[in-house]
């Protein structure tokens, strides 16, 4: 099993290895590649003006964008780590069933 599957199953060490290597897990809704994007802060409150979030351009999923409509993360690394360590949505058994290996 590779680090991507391990991370999707909730393995935090695998997620950290992917994060350190600059990888992002696929979108949990459509499975497509996601991107880190920088949003312009819209408020004149510097403590709330975070700029980075994760976006799936295929299904328009956004992760970490809602802090005052700017973003939730101050750095690309912070956004990548939060994305890669999100809660798993499938169990190992469900993933095997989805892949047809069971």
* Total number of domains constituting the chain: 1
How many Cβ atoms from other residues are within 10 Å of residue 21's Cβ?
9
Give residue 52's domain range: 3-85
Is residue 54 domain-resident? yes
pTM (two decimals):
0.70
pLDDT tops 90 at residue 1: no
Is residue 96 domain-resident? no
Looking at the DSSP bridge assignments, the partners of residue 62 are: 55
The radius of gyration computed from the CA coordinates of the chain, to the nearest angstrom, equals: 15
pLDDT tops 70 at residue 12: yes
Is residue 95 domain-resident? no
How many Cβ atoms from other residues are within 10 Å of residue 1's Cβ?
11
Higher pLDDT, 28 or 87: 28
How do residues 56-94 score in pLDDT, each as one tens digit? 999 998 888 765 554 678 888 888 998 988 866 667 777
Is residue 22 domain-resident? yes
């Amino acid at each position: 099993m590779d680090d991507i599957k391990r991370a999707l199953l909730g393995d935090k060490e695998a997620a950290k290895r992917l994060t350190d290597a600059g990888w992002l897990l696929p979108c949990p809704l459509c499975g497509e590649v996601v991107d880190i994007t920088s949003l312009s802060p819209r408020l004149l409150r510097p403590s709330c003006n975070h700029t980075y979030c994760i976006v799936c351009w295929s299904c328009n999923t956004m992760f970490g964008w809602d802090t005052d409509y700017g973003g939730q993360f101050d750095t690309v690394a912070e956004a990548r780590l939060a994305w890669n360590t999100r809660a798993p949505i499938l169990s190992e058994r469900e993933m095997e069933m989805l892949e047809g290996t069971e």
